[in-house]
Amino acid sequence: MGVPTLEELREHNARLVELLDAGTAPVHVLLRSDIEQPPTLRLDVARSVFGGLAHPVLGYVLLINRQKPLVEFVATILGRFFGVKYKFFPTLDEAIAFLKAEDPSIDWSQLDESALSEQSSQ
């Protein structure tokens, strides 16, 4: 993906808000990041682009990013700004193992496995 545009980020945020609105707390989010570098944002713009992170039903945001320190740094800052519980994992399996241990109330039989495929992140 390289560096996402503001429009792409706004579209992703709008979709995130739709999903969070439809969910029951806590709604955990797994993000597979192929972003090489985060875009440069002012805080007022960040609020409009990442406002979904302040949603009341949001639980953990688990970022699978395979060692991209700059992405982790920016996500950590955004997490603190929005009060988000971010965790970073090198693999999807490790993120799922964390969720299984952290939130035993998740009904894994309802999981749409296709949402976790490599193709769904592209």
Residue 87 phi, psi (nearest 5): -135, 145
pLDDT tens digits along 68-117: 777 778 778 878 888 888 888 988 899 999 999 999 999 888 877 777 76
What is the value of pTM for the model shown?
A: 0.77
Q: Are 89 and 62 in contact (CB under 8 A)?
A: yes
